[in-house]
Amino acid sequence: MADPANIVWHKTTITKADREARNGHKGAVIWFTGLSGSGKSTLANRVESLLFASGIRTYLLDGDNIRSGLNRDLGFSEADRKENIRRISEVAGLFVDSNAIVLTAFISPFKEDRAAARTRVGNHEFFEIYVKCPLSVCESRDPKGLYKKARKGEIKNFTGIGSAYEAPESPELVIDTSEETVEESAQKVIRLLEKSGIIKENIGQQDPAKGGNGGNGL
Ligand SMILES: Nc1ncnc2c1ncn2[C@@H]1O[C@H](COP(=O)(O)OP(=O)(O)O)[C@@H](O)[C@H]1O
Ligand SMILES: [Mg+2]
Protein backbone atom coordinates (compact mmCIF):
# COMPACT_ATOMS: atom_id res chain seq x y z
CA MET A 1 0.00 0.00 0.00
CA ALA A 2 1.23 3.50 -0.82
CA ASP A 3 2.27 5.70 2.09
CA PRO A 4 -0.73 8.06 2.56
CA ALA A 5 1.71 10.83 3.48
CA ASN A 6 2.89 10.81 -0.14
CA ILE A 7 -0.59 11.02 -1.64
CA VAL A 8 -1.74 14.59 -2.17
CA TRP A 9 -5.24 15.28 -3.49
CA HIS A 10 -5.07 17.31 -6.70
CA LYS A 11 -7.92 19.81 -6.92
CA THR A 12 -9.60 19.70 -10.30
CA THR A 13 -10.24 22.84 -12.34
CA ILE A 14 -13.86 21.94 -13.05
CA THR A 15 -15.73 21.69 -9.76
CA LYS A 16 -18.84 19.95 -8.59
CA ALA A 17 -20.61 23.35 -8.51
CA ASP A 18 -19.70 23.90 -12.19
CA ARG A 19 -21.31 20.59 -13.10
CA GLU A 20 -24.43 21.29 -11.04
CA ALA A 21 -24.87 24.65 -12.71
CA ARG A 22 -24.59 23.10 -16.16
CA ASN A 23 -26.89 20.13 -15.54
CA GLY A 24 -29.52 21.79 -13.35
CA HIS A 25 -29.60 19.16 -10.63
CA LYS A 26 -27.44 17.88 -7.81
CA GLY A 27 -25.61 14.59 -7.53
CA ALA A 28 -26.69 11.98 -4.98
CA VAL A 29 -26.61 8.32 -4.12
CA ILE A 30 -29.87 6.44 -3.80
CA TRP A 31 -28.80 3.40 -1.86
CA PHE A 32 -31.33 0.55 -2.11
CA THR A 33 -30.83 -2.13 0.53
CA GLY A 34 -32.87 -5.26 1.19
CA LEU A 35 -33.03 -9.00 0.84
CA SER A 36 -32.37 -10.74 -2.45
CA GLY A 37 -35.62 -10.63 -4.44
CA SER A 38 -37.02 -7.72 -2.43
CA GLY A 39 -37.11 -5.58 -5.58
CA LYS A 40 -34.00 -3.38 -5.40
CA SER A 41 -33.02 -3.82 -9.04
CA THR A 42 -36.59 -3.55 -10.31
CA LEU A 43 -37.19 -0.34 -8.41
CA ALA A 44 -33.77 1.18 -9.15
CA ASN A 45 -34.32 0.58 -12.87
CA ARG A 46 -37.74 2.19 -12.81
CA VAL A 47 -36.51 5.24 -10.88
CA GLU A 48 -33.54 5.58 -13.23
CA SER A 49 -35.84 5.47 -16.27
CA LEU A 50 -38.02 8.23 -14.84
CA LEU A 51 -35.02 10.42 -14.05
CA PHE A 52 -33.35 9.72 -17.38
CA ALA A 53 -36.50 10.63 -19.29
CA SER A 54 -36.36 14.02 -17.59
CA GLY A 55 -32.80 14.69 -18.69
CA ILE A 56 -31.20 13.90 -15.33
CA ARG A 57 -27.72 12.39 -15.42
CA THR A 58 -27.94 8.95 -13.82
CA TYR A 59 -26.00 5.76 -13.35
CA LEU A 60 -27.06 2.44 -11.89
CA LEU A 61 -24.61 0.24 -10.02
CA ASP A 62 -26.05 -3.25 -9.60
CA GLY A 63 -24.75 -6.15 -7.53
CA ASP A 64 -23.90 -8.83 -10.06
CA ASN A 65 -22.65 -6.32 -12.62
CA ILE A 66 -20.04 -5.00 -10.21
CA ARG A 67 -19.18 -8.47 -8.97
CA SER A 68 -18.49 -9.61 -12.52
CA GLY A 69 -15.90 -6.87 -13.03
CA LEU A 70 -14.44 -4.49 -10.47
CA ASN A 71 -15.17 -6.83 -7.56
CA ARG A 72 -14.77 -10.20 -9.20
CA ASP A 73 -11.97 -11.06 -6.78
CA LEU A 74 -14.42 -10.90 -3.85
CA GLY A 75 -16.63 -13.62 -2.36
CA PHE A 76 -19.35 -13.53 0.28
CA SER A 77 -17.41 -13.83 3.54
CA GLU A 78 -17.98 -10.96 5.95
CA ALA A 79 -14.62 -9.41 5.06
CA ASP A 80 -15.31 -9.65 1.33
CA ARG A 81 -18.81 -8.24 1.65
CA LYS A 82 -17.32 -5.33 3.56
CA GLU A 83 -14.70 -4.70 0.88
CA ASN A 84 -17.41 -5.05 -1.80
CA ILE A 85 -19.41 -2.23 -0.21
CA ARG A 86 -16.32 -0.12 0.44
CA ARG A 87 -15.32 -0.14 -3.23
CA ILE A 88 -18.88 0.52 -4.36
CA SER A 89 -19.07 3.50 -1.97
CA GLU A 90 -15.88 4.91 -3.42
CA VAL A 91 -17.16 4.51 -6.98
CA ALA A 92 -20.54 5.98 -6.03
CA GLY A 93 -18.76 8.92 -4.40
CA LEU A 94 -16.83 9.62 -7.61
CA PHE A 95 -20.04 9.49 -9.64
CA VAL A 96 -21.69 11.98 -7.26
CA ASP A 97 -18.72 14.27 -7.77
CA SER A 98 -19.36 13.97 -11.50
CA ASN A 99 -22.91 15.24 -10.76
CA ALA A 100 -24.71 11.97 -11.42
CA ILE A 101 -27.58 10.55 -9.44
CA VAL A 102 -26.26 7.09 -8.68
CA LEU A 103 -28.65 4.29 -7.89
CA THR A 104 -27.10 1.34 -6.09
CA ALA A 105 -28.83 -2.03 -5.81
CA PHE A 106 -26.89 -4.22 -3.39
CA ILE A 107 -28.18 -6.34 -0.53
CA SER A 108 -25.64 -4.53 1.68
CA PRO A 109 -26.77 -6.47 4.76
CA PHE A 110 -24.58 -4.88 7.41
CA LYS A 111 -25.43 -1.59 9.14
CA GLU A 112 -21.82 -0.71 9.71
CA ASP A 113 -21.00 -0.96 6.00
CA ARG A 114 -23.98 1.17 4.97
CA ALA A 115 -22.98 3.74 7.60
CA ALA A 116 -19.46 3.78 6.15
CA ALA A 117 -20.92 4.30 2.66
CA ARG A 118 -22.95 7.23 4.00
CA THR A 119 -19.84 8.75 5.55
CA ARG A 120 -17.84 8.31 2.34
CA VAL A 121 -20.51 9.90 0.15
CA GLY A 122 -21.68 12.62 2.58
CA ASN A 123 -24.86 12.55 4.63
CA HIS A 124 -26.79 15.19 2.66
CA GLU A 125 -26.19 13.34 -0.61
CA PHE A 126 -26.93 9.84 0.63
CA PHE A 127 -30.47 8.43 0.59
CA GLU A 128 -30.87 5.02 2.14
CA ILE A 129 -33.97 3.24 0.86
CA TYR A 130 -34.97 0.15 2.75
CA VAL A 131 -36.65 -2.16 0.25
CA LYS A 132 -38.61 -4.14 2.77
CA CYS A 133 -40.23 -7.42 1.90
CA PRO A 134 -40.86 -10.50 4.04
CA LEU A 135 -38.38 -13.31 3.48
CA SER A 136 -41.26 -15.65 2.59
CA VAL A 137 -42.35 -13.33 -0.25
CA CYS A 138 -38.77 -12.88 -1.52
CA GLU A 139 -38.37 -16.63 -1.44
CA SER A 140 -41.60 -17.23 -3.35
CA ARG A 141 -40.51 -14.72 -6.01
CA ASP A 142 -36.99 -16.18 -6.20
CA PRO A 143 -36.26 -14.35 -9.49
CA LYS A 144 -32.81 -15.90 -9.85
CA GLY A 145 -33.53 -19.29 -8.28
CA LEU A 146 -31.00 -18.51 -5.56
CA TYR A 147 -33.22 -19.24 -2.54
CA LYS A 148 -33.85 -22.70 -3.92
CA LYS A 149 -30.12 -23.28 -4.20
CA ALA A 150 -29.49 -21.81 -0.73
CA ARG A 151 -32.12 -24.10 0.82
CA LYS A 152 -30.40 -27.08 -0.79
CA GLY A 153 -27.15 -25.93 0.80
CA GLU A 154 -25.59 -25.08 -2.54
CA ILE A 155 -24.98 -21.45 -1.54
CA LYS A 156 -23.32 -20.77 1.77
CA ASN A 157 -23.78 -17.41 3.55
CA PHE A 158 -26.93 -16.55 1.62
CA THR A 159 -28.50 -13.47 3.21
CA GLY A 160 -31.70 -14.33 5.09
CA ILE A 161 -30.78 -18.01 5.30
CA GLY A 162 -27.16 -18.60 6.23
CA SER A 163 -26.22 -14.98 6.86
CA ALA A 164 -27.93 -12.12 8.69
CA TYR A 165 -29.64 -9.09 7.20
CA GLU A 166 -29.51 -6.07 9.50
CA ALA A 167 -32.49 -3.86 8.69
CA PRO A 168 -31.87 -0.10 8.60
CA GLU A 169 -32.96 1.79 11.73
CA SER A 170 -33.50 5.23 10.23
CA PRO A 171 -33.45 5.06 6.45
CA GLU A 172 -34.61 8.07 4.43
CA LEU A 173 -37.43 5.89 3.04
CA VAL A 174 -38.97 2.49 3.63
CA ILE A 175 -40.72 0.79 0.75
CA ASP A 176 -42.72 -2.37 1.26
CA THR A 177 -42.79 -4.10 -2.10
CA SER A 178 -45.21 -6.74 -0.84
CA GLU A 179 -47.75 -3.93 -0.29
CA GLU A 180 -47.22 -1.40 -3.08
CA THR A 181 -46.65 -1.40 -6.82
CA VAL A 182 -43.33 -0.62 -8.49
CA GLU A 183 -44.88 2.58 -9.85
CA GLU A 184 -46.04 3.81 -6.43
CA SER A 185 -42.64 3.07 -4.93
CA ALA A 186 -40.76 4.78 -7.77
CA GLN A 187 -42.86 7.93 -7.36
CA LYS A 188 -42.04 8.00 -3.64
CA VAL A 189 -38.33 7.98 -4.42
CA ILE A 190 -38.74 10.78 -6.97
CA ARG A 191 -40.72 12.88 -4.46
CA LEU A 192 -37.97 12.34 -1.87
CA LEU A 193 -35.36 13.69 -4.28
CA GLU A 194 -37.55 16.69 -5.06
CA LYS A 195 -38.22 17.44 -1.40
CA SER A 196 -34.52 17.20 -0.65
CA GLY A 197 -33.61 19.68 -3.39
CA ILE A 198 -31.58 17.18 -5.43
CA ILE A 199 -33.84 17.63 -8.45
CA LYS A 200 -36.43 20.28 -9.34
CA GLU A 201 -40.09 19.55 -8.69
CA ASN A 202 -42.52 17.89 -11.05
CA ILE A 203 -40.19 15.64 -12.89
CA GLY A 204 -40.60 11.92 -13.20
CA GLN A 205 -44.12 12.25 -14.58
CA GLN A 206 -43.16 11.30 -18.12
CA ASP A 207 -43.35 7.78 -19.41
CA PRO A 208 -39.81 6.84 -20.53
CA ALA A 209 -41.35 4.44 -23.04
CA LYS A 210 -42.68 7.55 -24.78
CA GLY A 211 -39.33 9.30 -24.70
CA GLY A 212 -39.91 11.91 -21.96
CA ASN A 213 -39.66 15.63 -22.64
CA GLY A 214 -35.96 15.73 -23.45
CA GLY A 215 -35.50 18.64 -21.04
CA ASN A 216 -33.34 18.83 -17.96
CA GLY A 217 -36.16 18.82 -15.44
CA LEU A 218 -36.07 22.58 -14.88
N1 LIG B 1 -43.83 -4.06 -5.85
C2 LIG B 1 -42.75 -4.64 -6.37
N3 LIG B 1 -41.57 -3.98 -6.38
C4 LIG B 1 -40.47 -4.56 -6.89
N5 LIG B 1 -40.42 -5.82 -7.40
C6 LIG B 1 -41.57 -6.52 -7.41
C7 LIG B 1 -42.77 -5.98 -6.88
N8 LIG B 1 -43.73 -6.90 -7.00
C9 LIG B 1 -43.18 -7.98 -7.59
N10 LIG B 1 -41.87 -7.77 -7.85
C11 LIG B 1 -40.98 -8.74 -8.49
O12 LIG B 1 -40.03 -9.15 -7.52
C13 LIG B 1 -38.79 -9.45 -8.15
C14 LIG B 1 -37.69 -8.61 -7.51
O15 LIG B 1 -36.47 -8.96 -8.09
P16 LIG B 1 -35.22 -7.98 -8.13
O17 LIG B 1 -35.66 -6.60 -8.48
O18 LIG B 1 -34.19 -8.64 -8.99
O19 LIG B 1 -34.78 -8.02 -6.59
P20 LIG B 1 -33.37 -7.67 -5.93
O21 LIG B 1 -32.62 -6.80 -6.89
O22 LIG B 1 -33.74 -6.99 -4.66
O23 LIG B 1 -32.69 -8.98 -5.69
C24 LIG B 1 -38.96 -9.15 -9.63
O25 LIG B 1 -39.26 -10.35 -10.30
C26 LIG B 1 -40.15 -8.19 -9.64
O27 LIG B 1 -40.87 -8.24 -10.84
MG1 LIG C 1 -30.79 -7.10 -7.83
In this prediction, residue 212 carries a pLDDT of: 45
Closest-CA residue, ligand 1 atom 10, reads 39
In a domain, 112, yes or no: yes
d(CA 197, CA 180): 25
- Go through the chain and tell me how many residues it has: 218
In this prediction, residue 204 carries a pLDDT of: 57
Q: Which has more pLDDT, 123 or 205?
A: 123
* pLDDT over 60 at 4, yes or no: yes
**Residue 15 CA to ligand 2 centre (angstroms):** 33
Tens-place pLDDT, residues 101-121: 999 999 999 999 999 999 999
How large a percentage of the chain has pLDDT more than 90? Answer: 82
Q: What CATH number is given to the structural domain containing 160? A: 3.40.50.300
Tell me the backbone φ, ψ of residue 177, rounded to 5 degrees: -80, -5
82 is in an annotated binding site: no
Range with the poorest average pLDDT among 19-28, 62-71, 159-168, 201-210? 201-210
In a domain, 211, yes or no: no
In a domain, 2, yes or no: no
Q: How many domains does the chain have?
A: 1
Residues 6+ apart with CB under 8 A from 111: 166, 168, 169
Ligand closest to 138 (CA) is 1
Which residue range(s) make up the domain with 112?
Answer: 19-199
40 is in an annotated binding site: yes
Tens-place pLDDT, residues 53-110: 999 999 999 988 999 999 999 998 889 989 999 999 999 999 999 999 999 999 999 9
In a domain, 164, yes or no: yes
Q: Which of 31, 35, 42 should be mutated for ligand 1, with most atoms under 8 A from CB?
A: 42
In a domain, 208, yes or no: no
Extended beta strands in 1-147, E state = 28-33, 58-62, 101-105, 126-132
In a domain, 173, yes or no: yes
Tens-place pLDDT, residues 106-159: 999 999 999 999 999 999 999 999 999 999 999 999 999 999 999 999 998 899
Active-site entry in 49, 54, 108, 163: 108
Query: What's the pLDDT band for 2 if we cut at 50, 70, 90?
Result: confident
Contact 38, 132 (CB under 8 A): yes
* pLDDT over 50 at 217, yes or no: no
Amino acid at site 70:
L
Mean pLDDT over each residue of the chain, to the nearest integer: 92
Query: Within 10 Å of residue 145's Cβ, how many Cβ atoms?
Result: 8
In a domain, 218, yes or no: no
Catalytic status, residue 68: no
In a domain, 41, yes or no: yes
Q: Across the chain, how many H-helices and E-strands are there?
A: 8, 5
In this prediction, residue 78 carries a pLDDT of: 85
